[in-house]
């Protein structure tokens, strides 16, 4: 089990940028796939971006070219750089981690897995774009 703590959310005008961070309680460098998910009010949680232990990434079509996921394994930190923000990006953003596995790698090859594929979650950070 790994504990995750997100930060960096806030309110921003459309077209602006934000940088989210997620700090893990243990070494994530070689064994964990990490991801960002978001949940708008009244909607289901959806995948935003993932980064596997080998550095390979996947993005939701809605954020491609605007968001960038990265990880700093030395500091057990996951980042999400968000730019050209739109009102539709408003949501609670969650950091997630799951032990890398052949099954998860296969799912990632098809796109961002459903939230059910991840068992470790942060408490969320709110992003509001107006």
Give per-residue pLDDT as tens, 65-77. Answer: 999 999 999 999 9
Write out pLDDT tens, residues 96-110: 999 988 999 889 989
- The single residue listed with the structure tokens 């980042």 is 79
Question: Largest Cα–Cα distance in the chain?
Answer: 41
- Whether residue 27 is predicted with pLDDT greater than 90 in this model: the reply is no
Q: Which of 67, 63, 62, 4 is nearest to 32 (CA)?
A: 4
* pLDDT confidence band for 34 (50 / 70 / 90): very high
Q: DSSP letter string over 55-104?
A: S-EEE-TTTTTTEEEEEEGGGTEEEEEE-S--GGG-EEEEEEEEE--HHH
Which strands sit side by side in the sheet containing 4-7, from one edge to the other? 4-7, 18-24, 77-82, 67-72
- Residue 10: how many CB atoms within 10 A of its CB? 13
Residue 116's φ and ψ, nearest 5 degrees, are -65, -15
- Whether residue 29 is predicted with pLDDT greater than 90 in this model: the reply is no
């Amino acid at each position: 089990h790994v504990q995750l703590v997100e930060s960096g959310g806030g309110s921003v005008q459309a077209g602006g940028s934000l940088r989210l961070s997620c700090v893990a309680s243990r070494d994530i460098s070689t064994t964990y796939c990490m991801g960002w998910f978001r949940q708008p009010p009244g909607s289901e949680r959806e995948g935003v971006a993932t980064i596997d232990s080998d550095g390979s990434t996947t993005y939701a079509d809605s954020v491609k070219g605007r968001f960038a996921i990265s990880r700093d394994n030395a500091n057990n930190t996951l980042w999400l750089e968000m730019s050209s923000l739109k009102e539709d990006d408003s949501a609670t953003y969650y950091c997630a981690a799951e032990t890398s596995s052949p099954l998860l790698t296969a799912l990632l090859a098809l796109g961002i897995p459903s939230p059910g594929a991840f068992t470790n979650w942060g408490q969320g950070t709110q992003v509001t774009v107006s």
